[in-house]
Structure 1
Amino acid sequence: MTTGTSDPAAGAAAAPPAPTSLLRFATAGSVDDGKSTLVGRLLHDSKAVLADQLEAVEHASRARGADGPDLALLTDGLRAEREQGITIDVAYRYFATPRRRFVLADTPGHVQYTRNMVTGASTAELTVILVDARHGVVEQTRRHAAVAALLRVPHVVLAVNKMDLVDYAEPVFAAIAGEFADYAASLGVPEVTAVPISALAGDNVVTPSARMDWYSGPTVLEHLETVPVGHDPAAEPARFPVQYVIRPQTSEHPDYRGYAGQIAAGVLRVGQEVTVLPSGRTTTIAGLDVLGQAVETAWAPQSVTVRLADDLDVARGDLIAPTAAAPATTREVTATVCHLHDSPLTVGRRVLVKHTTRTVKAVVQEISARLALDDLSLHPAPGELVANDIGRVRLRTAEPLPVDAYALSRRTGSFLLIDPADGATLTAGMAGDAFTQATKATKAAADATEDDGWDF
């Protein structure tokens, strides 16, 4: 596998660059599978821990009666986490090796914090799912695999931990890896890499294990450093959510009008015919400015200022897209959602929908099903969704939204539901069908429904 290493200056090239050497990945696993220990071992053995951080961990470990440093404390920073010995909140860590930079989201393993895993994995390009070699694939393992499939995480690593407690036996690893691979395939997960490890002893985390000479694959870190990341921006239609309108009104630029934001997908070019949504007005791109310099081409995820040839009514929340590949606008949004808030989501509830830079009022018109992640069966008409539930809903928005299917774009196919009373985030949503391949249970439930309402 190859890794892109180019990092061109913004606007310096006339074509999209090769994938950057930044990997965003998340970890998941059942309680006590050793996930936080794995993350701590990864940080420690890759020399990503500062001396004062290690000293603080050693001091906290001694206070808890441990003989050596408890590396799990490098990520379990909340007092409640340390007292209970479990991960509660998503902990983000940033580290780098000579080959790649990393953003790590260490997510909780307990079932009641499934919503935290959804948050941590929503921007990940890879998920590391841990299992205890003594217990194998359990319900929470299947749940985490289903969430990874739901969020369309491109790469999944199965880390079979605590191999030291099963005498580093190859048959144990092979059986677990085979069972998980079959389940992941039923979900449509495109790639699974299985690695036998002992996070406590450091086997196959950063350095190869001398105790498992039967394994010839990469260590966890080696795989993280070499797995292909990023995508070709030209492969997707351009999407540019307007974040801010720039009108400097200076004597030097008396007529300057620019629309600033971050390109969510695709490539923008000077002279390209574009449509401003939701108004539907068409024009052409007169200019592109990156870091104050005019360029001919810009691509995701660059932050740019777009200048249009015509004076149109363009404001924050509008979406600029190529006319030939502009998304349809709709006021009926059907989606898969994960409910995040402690108060339930009910039919008739009034919410705000935040889609890219646009926020509109909406009403929950229908909650058609709740998904059971252990067997992927659909429970029709649940009436409400409570915290950690994943279900299918239909929304009616006060204004039309240019929503892509999540399968086509993780950025413009996702949205948040917000409580208009206090601004609390209620629900994370993914427009369109959440799975590319359904299990038999899901397919049977879908066949029983004449119109599932997934297509716009």
Structure 2
Amino acid sequence: MSQAIDKDRELIASDIQQYLKSHQYKTLLRFITCGSVDDGKSTVIGRLLYESKMLFEDQLEALEADSKKVGTQGGDLDFALLVDGLAAEREQGITIDVAYRFFATDKRKFIVADTPGHEQYTRNMVTGASTADVAVILIDARKGVLTQTRRHSFLVSLIGIRHVVLAINKMDLMDYSEKTFNSIVEDYREFAKQIGLTDITAIPLSALKGDNMLEPSERTPWYHGPTLMGYLETVQVNQDRLQSLPFRLPVQWVNRPNLDFRGFAGTIASGSIKPGDRIRIQPSGRESKVARIVTYDGDLDKAIAGQSITLTLADEVDISRGDVISTIDAPAEVADQFESTLVWMHDEAMMPGRSYLLKIGTKTVTATVTEIKHKVNVNTMEHLAAKKLDLNEIGICNLSLDRPIAFDAYKDNPDTGGYIIIDRITNNTVGAGLLNFALRRSQNIHMQHVDVNKEVRSTAKGQKASVLWFTGLSGAGKSTIANLVEKKLHASGRHTYLLDGDNVRHGLNKDLGFTDADRVENIRRVAEVSKLMVDAGLITLVSFISPFRSERRMARNLVAEGEFIEVYIDTPLSIAEERDPKGLYKKARRGELKNFTGIDSPYEAPENPEIHIDTTSLTPEQAADRIIAALQGMGVVG
């Protein structure tokens, strides 16, 4: 008995090994399905899973039972139930999340993303499309090309997917009409030309009945193209294209196990490399030659896109994580300012001037959107003016980084031209973007070296240059206390300058209103002026409501550590409103003053200010004395 069991185990193990071996060398195709609600995306994927025999018996039994229970397909199996896993989706009959599924045939392996159809889930679709080689865009034969079809096609072209299947589904409900099919194809191709989609394969389908899914359908004798599965099994994947591009290796790790070995590890984004090839390290521009290509299984004579390798070089060259190694004859570009297409993916709007983290490849830098040139109405392709980007909106923006990076335009190389935006505090991904090109100013503008610098100016004045950033509600007493502090500093021989919110709005910021976007720009400009004042060696007092933490963090990050001192003038709203020296709260309460901080616009109190002044227990004079004492303790003044 035990011998028979052992033999069975050996046979099972052998079968598993054969199965794994058969899949080892198959190419992998990633594709997405997208379209309007109820076009049959989930049904198409469910049918592919069913026909490729990728379901277990218990899944088949559950599918049969659920199909009878739901009863929406007149006795046929409801293949959408295999994919619509979220309870909310089954209740509403729509797909919300991106559902990823794996299946395989004798010819290829597949990962398919079933992406949402609703406009409010644009970010989900962009996520699903970001790694896809092919887009299957479904159209309901009864409805033809819809606004959502155009929107999804635009997003597909935006992400850079080159291969499109126009899957005209539910042909059974149109009696498999060739005229209907041709009319829809003609309408779609006309639109596709406008957005640069050229590689389009149109297929008439009935996912529910199986027509042209795996086998040519007898019901469409007029159609002579591939089946959906036939197309997916034979279409050329992007891996071949990546190998034809110039070599790019974003450095992920500097491997230094001992003094005798120093290598630079990462996954090849594109191209190929051999020992002896001349390379350039970017953004530094240093050059060297490849000595070895090291892998876990031994050295290679050649490495290609997609492989994880470690390069050793002939010279001792300074390379860090995030640098890009390129071939010397076709290096990446280097810049710190760009035009970019940005998809916003967070509930809190993106405001120009705010500081975020940008991650491109293995490099993370600080980034600011300096201008929104326009946003795109993804339903009509119309360009609209915008001061911010809300959730799921797409904008063409100018980006400024805190240092140069190596990159390629996204259309040329998605791996070195695509990036994500990360919130600096929560570490959440809040946006995704594509670099279009470097702005000319990026190459033309350089920092000029000067011999008389901040340290020289500060020493001459006998003080430590710094920013005292007074923040608090309107009526808290910021300007009064800041004015007293400056008088005391001036009396002791200190060199100061006071930037007050009201005064600045009479000149530098007179063009700005009080929307959230204008408030962000208001603080950005003042922060930049403060930085210049610090560079001049001054103790700069800034008295602004500055209601948002993100803008105060941005101002802090512009100067060196220890040079930014946040002074929170803490006054309860009720007391500030009682004082109301300018009558602003009364106007806001009457609805005459919109976006007023504390009433219909939020104030985000500092979490860890360097100096905290509670005005309920201190007079302005006492508050000023306490601030001077704190500055003495910090070494700002002697």
Whether the 8 Å CA contact 1:30–1:130 is kept in 2: the answer is yes
Distance 1:61 1:200 in 2: 12
Moved more, 276-285 or 96-105: 276-285
Moved more, 345-354 or 52-61: 52-61
Distance 1:181 1:406 in 2: 24
Partner of 1:270: 275
Partner of 1:397: 401
Q: Which runs of 5+ in 2 are unaligned?
A: 1-24, 445-638
Alignment of 1:325-404 (within 5 A): 325-380=330-385, 382-404=386-408
Change in Cα spacing, 1:453 to 1:282, as seen in structure 2 (3 Å) is closer
Shift of 1:202: 1.2
Alignment of 1:211-360 (within 5 A): 211-230=219-238, 231-249=240-258, 254-360=259-365
Shift of 1:63: 4.2
**Does the alignment pair 1:84 with 2:92?**
yes
Whether the 8 Å CA contact 2:376–2:382 is kept in 1: the answer is yes
Amino acid at match of 1:168: Y
Change in Cα spacing, 1:263 to 1:343, as seen in structure 2 (3 Å) is same
**Does the alignment pair 1:407 with 2:400?**
no
Partner of 1:158: 166
**Which of 1 and 2 has higher RCO (CA within 8 Å, sep 6+)?**
1
SS in 2 for 1:248: strand
Distance 2:355 2:407 in 1: 20
Shift of 1:208: 2.0
Distance 2:295 2:168 in 1: 45
SS in 1 for 2:257: coil
Cα-to-partner distance string for 1:245-274 (whole Å, 9 max, x where unaligned): 21222xxxx411111110001111111111
Cα-to-partner distance string for 1:85-114 (whole Å, 9 max, x where unaligned): 111111111111111111111111111111
Alignment of 1:20-169 (within 5 A): 21-65=27-71, 67-169=75-177
Moved more, 387-396 or 225-234: 225-234
Cα-to-partner distance string for 1:183-210 (whole Å, 9 max, x where unaligned): 1122111211111111111111122222
SS in 1 for 2:415: coil
Change in Cα spacing, 1:97 to 1:30, as seen in structure 2 (3 Å) is same
Distance 2:265 2:190 in 1: 46
Whether the 8 Å CA contact 2:98–2:115 is kept in 1: the answer is yes
Amino acid at match of 2:190: D
Larger Rg, first or second structure (1 or 2): 2
Change in Cα spacing, 1:391 to 1:454, as seen in structure 2 (3 Å) is farther
Distance 1:111 1:299 in 2: 39
Shift of 1:452: 11
Whether the 8 Å CA contact 1:432–1:455 is kept in 2: the answer is no
Distance 2:208 2:27 in 1: 28
Normalising by structure 1, we get a TM-score of 0.87
SS in 2 for 1:385: coil
Moved more, 199-208 or 67-76: 67-76
Cα-to-partner distance string for 1:311-350 (whole Å, 9 max, x where unaligned): 2222211111112221221111221111111211111111
Moved more, 45-54 or 76-85: 45-54
Partner of 2:500: none
Change in Cα spacing, 1:454 to 1:256, as seen in structure 2 (3 Å) is closer
Amino acid at match of 1:160: I
Whether the 8 Å CA contact 2:324–2:406 is kept in 1: the answer is yes
**Does the alignment pair 1:194 with 2:202?**
yes
Amino acid at match of 1:276: I
Amino acid at match of 1:375: T
SS in 1 for 2:395: strand
SS in 2 for 1:368: strand
Distance 2:395 2:215 in 1: 41
SS in 2 for 1:54: helix
Normalising by structure 2, we get a TM-score of 0.63
Distance 1:426 1:205 in 2: 38
Distance 1:363 1:432 in 2: 16
SS in 1 for 2:416: coil
Partner of 1:15: none
SS in 2 for 1:209: coil
Whether the 8 Å CA contact 2:336–2:442 is kept in 1: the answer is no
Distance 2:242 2:169 in 1: 36
Whether the 8 Å CA contact 1:233–1:267 is kept in 2: the answer is no
Distance 1:30 1:70 in 2: 18
Greater per-residue helix proportion:
2
SS in 1 for 2:431: strand
SS in 1 for 2:213: coil
Distance 1:102 1:172 in 2: 31
Distance 1:350 1:57 in 2: 49
Shift of 1:282: 1.4
Shift of 1:421: 0.8
Whether the 8 Å CA contact 1:335–1:454 is kept in 2: the answer is no
Amino acid at match of 1:122: S
SS in 1 for 2:125: helix
The count of residues paired between Structure 1 and Structure 2 equals 416
Amino acid at match of 1:26: I
Cα-to-partner distance string for 1:14-42 (whole Å, 9 max, x where unaligned): xxxxx962211111010011110111011
Equivalent pairs: percent with the same residue?
46
Whether the 8 Å CA contact 1:432–1:454 is kept in 2: the answer is no
Cα-to-partner distance string for 1:197-228 (whole Å, 9 max, x where unaligned): 11111111122222222212111111111122
Change in Cα spacing, 1:267 to 1:32, as seen in structure 2 (3 Å) is same
Greater per-residue strand proportion:
1
Cα-to-partner distance string for 1:410-452 (whole Å, 9 max, x where unaligned): 110100011011111111111116xxxxxxxxxxxxxxxxx99
SS in 1 for 2:215: coil
